[in-house]
Amino acid sequence: MHMFRLNHVPIAFTICPFSHAESQTMDELEFGIVDQSPIRQGGTVQQALQETVILAQVAEKLGYHRYWVAEHHNSGGFAGTAPEILVGQIASQTNSIIVGSGGVMLSHYSAFKVAETFSVLQSFYPNRIELGIGRAPGSDQDTARALAYPKEIADIQAFPQQVTDLVGFLSGTLPDEHVFSHIKSQPGPPPLSMPGIWLLGSSDYSARLAAILGLPFSFADFFGTAAEHGPLVAELYRQMFRPSGYLTSPKFNVALQVICAETSEEAEFIASSRDISRINTLRGIRGPMISPEEASSIKLTPSELQHLEQVNEHSIRGSQDTVKDQILEAARVYQTADVSVVTNCYYFEDRLRSFELIAEAFDLPKKLPATLEAETDL
């Protein structure tokens, strides 16, 4: 058993015996997508969810490696309230792409329940399920209370213990002195039912926790507010990393805000919808994404323009060549070949085209549909 302290809270954990070796090199980038399932003005939540499944199917054919779905509650702008259900739906509608949560907001839930939910998913779709874990609430305080009701909101200080408990339940390695050491997560047994585990975050807090526990870490550069110190967080994670039975060397992913279009002017126009969504968040306004036609005509105050300039400083938007160069530069700065893109647009076709252009730019290995593969093998 090992001990560490985070924010002065002592955490006990046991290294689990299932090794996920790091295999990344900088020679060739590996691409994933983080889908927040944006809702457009005039559209519906159902439409946003259906588009997420369609985009995952397209992403698989284009050669993307993984597809993660986000968790938001009472946001008005994002449809993904239950990533565990979306993960199962996407996995059932695809063949080989890795599907996961980006991520489950663990503070709302029982670590045991999350462990069993993702064990079931992994049992149906072996070696295709990833469990990304987030610390942020993904909601406001009233919504967080509604999620916990009739219980109280969990103390955020308990998050490190929740993560270690989750890993312990999934791997069957809770310490003997743990109050729930006699309880086994089903379906089991590990490692057959153990999904890939990632810790997600935009600060050094989650990076430190991931490093100390020997877990993979994904940095949310796309938040914009934390991108400036992102490379430092990545380096801190690598320096603090302790090899575990789960992972023998650091495994780092960066999620970037990217919009790729035929021209830089078109990309800026498309991105105006996302820009106004950010400003509306600043104004305390919740709601679906407005069209770029409407967004580009809105006059902003000097302070709002300054805010956009700050949060978009590391946002990647432009033509295919521009986007490729900026993604390569981000990969170099973060020293990782594992990159995910977040692309929120009003029009479904613009999101789809952005994914296509990125796949073309990096010559991702296209995959035939399963039926065509079977015919080809005959």
- Three-state secondary structure readout of 117-146: HHHHHHHHCCCCEEEEEECCCCCCHHHHHH
Q: Is the confidence at residue 19, as pLDDT, over 70?
A: no
Q: Is the confidence at residue 261, as pLDDT, over 80?
A: yes
89: confidence class by pLDDT, cuts 50, 70, 90? very high
pLDDT at position 362: 97
Residue 375 maps to a domain: no
Residue 216 maps to a domain: yes
Mean per-residue pLDDT for 258-265? Answer: 98
Instruction: Give the mean pLDDT of the chain.
Output: 90
Q: How many CB atoms lie within 10 A of CB 327?
A: 22
Q: How many CA atoms lie within 13 A of 95 on its CB side?
A: 13
d(CA 28, CA 300): 41
Domain total of the chain? 1
Give the CATH number, domain containing residue 206: 3.20.20.30
> Tens digit of pLDDT for each residue in 119-164?
999 999 999 999 999 998 767 889 999 998 999 888 889 999 999 9
> Tens digit of pLDDT for each residue in 210-254?
999 999 999 999 998 776 899 999 999 999 999 998 899 999 999
**Residue 157 dihedral angles phi and psi, to the nearest 5°:** -65, -20
Instruction: Provide the domain limits for residue 31.
Output: 24-364
Residue 374 maps to a domain: no
- Going by C-alpha positions, the residue among 36, 77, 44, 37 that lies closest to residue 279 is 77
26: confidence class by pLDDT, cuts 50, 70, 90? low
Radius of gyration of the chain from its Cα atoms, rounded to whole angstroms: 20
188: confidence class by pLDDT, cuts 50, 70, 90? confident
Residue 356 maps to a domain: yes
Residue 1 maps to a domain: no
pLDDT at position 245: 86
Asked if 70 contacts 83 with a C-beta cutoff of 8 angstroms, the reply is yes
Asked if 69 contacts 37 with a C-beta cutoff of 8 angstroms, the reply is yes
d(CA 233, CA 219): 8
Residue 251 maps to a domain: yes
Q: How many CA atoms lie within 13 A of 252 on its CB side?
A: 33
d(CA 323, CA 328): 8
Residue 112 maps to a domain: yes
Residue 43 maps to a domain: yes
